[in-house]
Amino acid sequence: MNLYADMINTVREMEQIARLFNIEPFPIYFMGGSACLLGQYTERATRDFDFIDLSYPAKLGKVFVHLRDYDILEYESTILSPRYAERALRISEFKYLQVYVLSREDIIVSKIIRLAPKDWEDIDELIKDCDKQLILRIIEEVLQREDLFESKREAFIKQLPLFKERYNV
């Protein structure tokens, strides 16, 4: 079973549904495990799709439902730099929808808040091809956000020393 091909096909079918319902093309930014697979950063098994809420209208629900297992992540409660879109990579297989995956560095920073065993595994894999100076800049951009929920900021700050020590960042 090729999870990458399965995920690409699922998103391709979502794109076809958007066309079928005459829904205007829209951007979607995947993060987490789905971004790792779609961006071919890692091969960790996942079937859920995590993406950033861009204040999508309700009519897109009929498109998103095709993903089956998905989470729309509210920007204010997600550890993201305000500049994530500048670093995101567009997936060339999709011509109608603008499908992006976050950069490796943005994904790493987004995982610092939790640092569950699967997050450590993902970071171990992702960090091999990362710019550590960029990671530090992204961390600073996150910390400067005024719209980030305070509880999320505090949890992120609490985990930062563990992350920095383990990866010598």
pLDDT tens-digit map of 39-82:
999 887 777 899 999 999 999 999 999 898 899 999 999 999 99
| CATH classification code of 3-167 | 3.30.460
Distance CA(92)–CA(90), nearest Å, equals 6
* pLDDT confidence of residue 1: 54
Contact 115, 101 (CB under 8 A): no
Domain ranges of the chain: 3-167
- Provide the pairing of β-strand 98-101 with 89-90: antiparallel
Show the tokens assigned to 99: 């499908």
Distance CA(79)–CA(111), nearest Å, equals 8
Sequence-ordered list of residues with C-beta below 8 angstroms from that of 64, at least 6 positions apart, any chain: 14, 56, 70, 72
Q: For the residues 133-141, what does the mean pLDDT come to?
A: 98
Show the tokens assigned to 17: 């549904």
pTM comes to 0.94
**Is the predicted pLDDT of residue 141 greater than 60, yes or no?**
yes
Q: Which amino acid is at 21?
A: F
